[in-house]
Amino acid sequence: MSTEPTSTPTPSPAKTRTGVWLVGARGSVATTTVTGAAAVAAGLHPATGMVTETPAFADAGLPPLSALVFGGHDTTACPLPKRAEQLAAAGVLPHGLPTALAAELAAADEEIRPGGPGPGDTRGDEELIAAFAADLTGFRTRHDLARVVVVNVASTEPAPGAGDARLPASSLYAAAALAAGCPYVNFTPSTGLHHPALAARAAACGLPYAGRDGKTGQTLLRSVLAPMFHQRALAVRAWSGSNLLGGGDGAALADPAAAAAKNAGKERVLADTLGTAPEGEVHIDDVPAMGDFKTAWDHIAFDGFLGTRMILQTIWQGVDSSLAAPLVLDLARLLARAHESGLTGPRPELGFFFKDPDGGSSSLAEQYTALLAFAGRLGETR
């Protein structure tokens, strides 16, 4: 598929706002994303962690945070303002911020539609895709938006089996995005557009898309350390890891099949960089008491000169949703601008953000260089 700019109509002056449709819109990542965008736009907090707010992106023509309009799909009923209050009480969001941004959170909550398929839902895949696509087109029309970017931030689902007759939920949402003419980001390890049944639709859609699985914590660190060992010719004998986390992610990843889908990206970073997969596994333990906080530990066994055996251990403690939210905003803005510029197909230039990107290098430094070049390219099309 061509990835060169095509002729794209310039939106009318009224259509200067960009929609961001979050699949999993009442989860921790989505709630932090909506709250964070409003807080930064209002000048209440700095844009810490947002790559697109650094000087290198100033001339890329990205939509401003104040021009973003949020909506989404979710299968839960907890109102977004209440979810934000829960995150503030847990120490994930600053105390008092949900109250200060109550109007913005309520506005986003009004645009959250029921997801699916839920228990007892008898609709077939194409009916669900059509219903989800109608939600997207309705959102775009109601707010007179120039475009809508769909971002999957829902809980990780197991990889589909070879004999599964139905598309997984993530692929239903991805197909709906294509049907509605919306650029698509898969920030999760779930299948999304990678399902074979969607290959023809993705190839013919004429839309930019990117994924998959956001690189936020443990894998981000691995993508920095693995090249160091490789470039210094140090032989890695084993690389083991452990994750302790609670919240919705912890519950979802307690399913061994979902955990396997998540770990595949972590292991792929090592194999791609080192040339072979070292011994060792990643274990994920659900610890509900930790809430949205996470501890990730890595134990790296490697050989130095003359076979000297050495160990490096790392500990990463943080909040996944706080690490993910600024990247979600970065990706939504970059893909919106790519769509405005007429770019289509998978965007390997955005591999900097993903464990399992759509092509390109697996080196974080090389990915960052590609991202900066992409920003320059976007700036040239203004």
* Statement: residue 311 has pLDDT above 60: yes
Which pLDDT belongs to residue 261? Answer: 62
What mean pLDDT value characterizes the chain? 91
What is the dihedral sign for C-alpha 165, 30, 369, 6? Answer: positive
- Summarize pLDDT for 320-344 with one digit per residue, the tens: 899 999 999 999 999 999 999 999 9
For residues 322 and 32, the answer to whether their CB atoms sit within 8 Å is yes
Please tell me the total number of residues recorded for the chain in this structure. 382
Residue 14 has pLDDT above 70, yes or no: no
Determine contact, residues 286/245, Cβ cutoff 8 Å: yes
Q: Taking 80 as the threshold, does the pLDDT of residue 255 lie above it?
A: no
Predicted pLDDT at 12 = 43
Band of the pLDDT at 5, cuts 50, 70, 90?
A: very low
Residue 8, pLDDT score: 41
At 245, the pLDDT band (50, 70, 90 cuts) reads confident
Task: Answer with the residue of higher pLDDT: 133 or 160.
Answer: 133
- Phi and psi at 312, nearest 5°, equal -125, 130
From the list 283, 1, 343, 355, the residue with the least C-alpha distance to 149 is 343
State how far the alpha carbon of 332 is from the alpha carbons of 56, 104, 231, in Å: 17, 18, 33
Continuous H helices in 314-363: 320-340
Q: How confident is the model at residue 114 (pLDDT cuts 50, 70, 90)?
A: very high
Look at phi and psi of residue 91 and say left if phi exceeds 0, alpha if psi is from -120 to 50, else beta. left
Q: State both tokens at 82.
A: 């209440």
Phi first, then psi: give them for residue 306, nearest 5 degrees.
60, 25
Q: Distance (Å, rounded) from C-alpha 272 to C-alpha 226?
A: 9
Work out the average pLDDT over 2-23.
Answer: 62
Nearest to 212, CA basis, from 255, 254, 173, 256: 173
Q: What global pTM score does this model have?
A: 0.90
pLDDT, one tens digit per residue, over 24-53 is 999 999 999 999 999 999 999 999 999 999
Cα dist. 223→22, 264, 312, 352, 353 in Å?
A: 27, 14, 15, 10, 11
pLDDT category at 146 given cuts 50, 70, 90 is very high
Q: How much of the chain, in percent, has pLDDT values that exceed 70?
A: 91
Which H or E run includes 218? Answer: helix 218-231
Res 180: pLDDT: 98
pLDDT in tens, 258-277: 666 656 656 778 888 888 88
> Which residues in 274-332 belong to E strands, given as ranges?
282-286, 293-303, 309-319
Instruction: Dump pLDDT digits (tens) for 343-382.
Output: 999 999 999 999 889 888 878 889 999 999 999 999 998 8
> Burial, 14: exposed, middle or buried (Cβ in 10 Å; 0-12, 13-18, 19+)?
exposed
pLDDT reported for residue 198 = 97
pLDDT digits (tens, 9 = 90+) for 155-208: 989 888 888 889 999 999 999 999 999 999 999 999 999 999 999 999 999 999
Angle, CA 352 vertex, CA 350 and CA 355 arms, to 5°: 105
Rounded to whole angstroms, how far apart are CA atoms 302 and 280?
Answer: 12
Average pLDDT over residues 83-104: 96
pLDDT digit string, tens, across residues 288-301: 888 889 999 999 99
**Taking 70 as the threshold, does the pLDDT of residue 121 lie above it?**
yes
- Residue 277 pairs in a beta bridge with none
Q: What is the pLDDT of residue 209?
A: 98
What amino acid occupies position 42? A
